[in-house]
Amino acid sequence: MTKAQAMALAKKKWGQRAAVRDDREASTVAQRTESSALLKEHRAQKPSGLQPLNDIARAAYREHYRAWRTREGELLHAALSYRFSVGRIDEYFGAFCIEGQGDTWEEACHKAGLLPPR
């Protein structure tokens, strides 16, 4: 299936609000699996919620927590990104609402309900 065919199926279901996306820099299956495992390990190392009492320790804690959150965001993005996405543009916010995503256009269209179940 091609991008044009996926767009035709999406337009049939959602009309002019239909949209498709091809993210060439998305994670592969192996990268997503590895990132998911690393994310679990990373979340197990989450800094404690106890705030230090003095200002110097509090600043160091904040910096450490920011670095931890940044790394968590990177791993989460890698664990959840797919190359092909099919969806619609939200009429209120104008945002792309993903209805289905996958490593092929067929997989994305199946998950979005544009093709009959396999």
Summarised one tens digit per residue, pLDDT across range 53-110 is: 788 888 888 899 999 999 999 999 999 999 999 999 998 999 999 999 999 999 999 9
What's the mean pLDDT in 18-38? 94
Q: Mean pLDDT for the chain?
A: 92
**pLDDT computed for residue 56 by the predictor:** 85
pLDDT at 32: 95
Q: Give the integer Cα–Cα distance in Å for 69 and 2.
A: 37
Cα of first residue to Cα of last residue in the chain, in angstroms, is 15
pLDDT band of 33, cuts 50, 70, 90 = very high
Closest to 108 (Cα-Cα) out of 94, 97, 98, 95: 98
Over residues 45-51, mean pLDDT: 80
Q: Where are the domains of the chain?
A: 1-26+83-118, 27-81
Question: What is the reported pLDDT for 48?
Answer: 79
* Structure token pair of residue 25: 């820099």
Sign of the C-alpha dihedral, residues 19, 29, 67, 42? Answer: positive
pLDDT at residue 89, as a whole number: 95
* Other C-beta atoms lying within 10 Å of the C-beta of residue 88: 20
The b-or-e profile of 50-67 (16+ CB within 10 A means b, else e) is eeeeeeeeeeeeeeeeee
CA distances from 96 to 24, 33, 61, 78, 85 (A): 17, 25, 36, 19, 10
Place of tokens 């279901």: 13
